[in-house]
Amino acid sequence: MAIPEVSKIWMNGELVDWQDAQIHVLTHALHYGTGVFEGIRAYDTSKGTHVFRLKDHMRRLHRSGRLYFMDIPYSVDQLVDATKEVIRANGLESCYIRPIAFRGYGEMGLYPLEAPIDVVIAVWPWGTYLGDEGIKRGIRAKISSFQRIGPNMLPLAGKATGQYINSVLAKVEAVKGGYEEALLLDHNGKLSEGTGENLFVVNKGTVYTPPLACDVLEGLTRDSITAICRDEGIPVEEKIMVRSELYNADEVFLTGTAAEVVPVREVDDRPLGEPGPITRKVQEIFYSIIKAENDKYSHYLDWV
């Protein structure tokens, strides 16, 4: 997806012109994947612009950094303020937000701890990742032939740039095969997650999602959806699942900051039907929250 250019990018404490936000080709992270990042969204509402769970995302960025011995040189609060600053500087009412901290220029080789840490926050207008039609009607998904990386290969609690080539391979395979998204199995062959989304399966009125031990990222949308289900009295549980539970599911949906809440209407060419009532209910509440029309969850919104 092409990135629509805006005016400014926040880079190491300063707002720089979009075209000037450059790095050297010998940047450590470019060679070895030594970066950690976040994906966040700001939404335009009748009450102004808010960022959804901004502080939680920046906390996760710090946690991701710690997993890779990266001491991010800006506090969570400084990153929160910087995000608002760059949104305002670009005059954006809604946008996608990409903070990234990475090992910069000056060292090569696989011992990165002497390399500097650069921090960037970029923002740009970005529609829903799997399309508005996907959100309405559901997407077609395929179980990937690539397995999710395991917990003793990389620490999966973090969002490190290097680990995403696993997702890239799965995504390309799915799209080339005519599907919109790939679902990956974990290191034990159990259901894990999408390439950039958490997975939910609905069966007989209960909502199930794979536990963190199935190599999933602890998604903030996953956490929000779990809270919504609990508050609505919809039973929600973590469960280790196999692929046939997808084929026989009453409903399946994916959640993530980029994708939001997306029904899955077909898995491995087995139709699941139109988005079901629990998916619709969860979507309705989620969208009321991000439109700032649901006071119960106003603590998720950080106003710009």
Ligand X SMILES: Cc1ncc(COP(=O)(O)O)c(C=O)c1O
Q: Which residues belong to the active site? A: 159
**Residue among 10 and 52 whose Cβ is closer to ligand X:** 52
**Residue among 49 and 167 whose Cβ is closer to ligand X:** 167
- Asked whether position 196 contacts ligand X by CB under 6 A, the answer is yes
What residue type is assigned to position 47 of the chain?
K
- Asked whether position 186 contacts ligand X by CB under 6 A, the answer is no
Counting Cβ atoms within 10 Å, is residue 25 exposed (0-12), middle (13-18) or buried (19+)? exposed
- Asked whether position 290 contacts ligand X by CB under 6 A, the answer is no
**Residue among 103 and 159 whose Cβ is closer to ligand X:** 159
Kindly tell me which residue out of 161, 198, 209, 226 binds ligand X, with binding defined by CB under 6 A: 198
- Asked whether position 99 contacts ligand X by CB under 6 A, the answer is no
- Asked whether position 215 contacts ligand X by CB under 6 A, the answer is no
Q: Which stretch binds ligand X (CB under 6 A): 24-32, 78-86, 232-240, 249-257?
A: 249-257
H-helix segments, 68-176: 76-89, 132-137, 164-176
- Residue 100 beta carbon to ligand X: minimum distance, rounded to whole angstroms: 13
Beta bridge partners of 254: 199, 262
Kindly tell me which residue out of 181, 197, 260, 302 binds ligand X, with binding defined by CB under 6 A: 197
DSSP-assigned letters across all residues of 150-196: PTTTS-TTS-BGGGHHHHHHHHHHHHHTT-SEEEEE-TTSSEEEESS
226 dihedral zone (left: phi>0; alpha: psi -120 to 50; beta):
alpha
Q: Which stretch binds ligand X (CB under 6 A): 6-14, 117-125, 171-179, 255-263?
A: 255-263
d(Cα 133, Cα 252) in Å, to the nearest integer? 16
- Asked whether position 220 contacts ligand X by CB under 6 A, the answer is yes
For residue 181, give every residue at least 6 positions away whose Cβ sits within 8 Å of its Cβ, in sequence order, or none. 130, 139, 140, 141, 142, 171, 174, 194, 195, 197, 254, 262, 264
- Asked whether position 222 contacts ligand X by CB under 6 A, the answer is yes
> Which DSSP state fits 7?
S
Closest CA to 96 of 183, 139, 37, 179: 37
- Asked whether position 97 contacts ligand X by CB under 6 A, the answer is no
Kindly tell me which residue out of 181, 186, 193, 251 binds ligand X, with binding defined by CB under 6 A: 193
In a 13 Å sphere around the CA of 54, the CA atoms on its Cβ side amount to: 24
- Asked whether position 134 contacts ligand X by CB under 6 A, the answer is no
**Residue among 8 and 253 whose Cβ is closer to ligand X:** 253
> Could you list the residues that contact ligand X (CB under 6 A)?
39, 159, 193, 196-198, 217, 219-222, 255-257
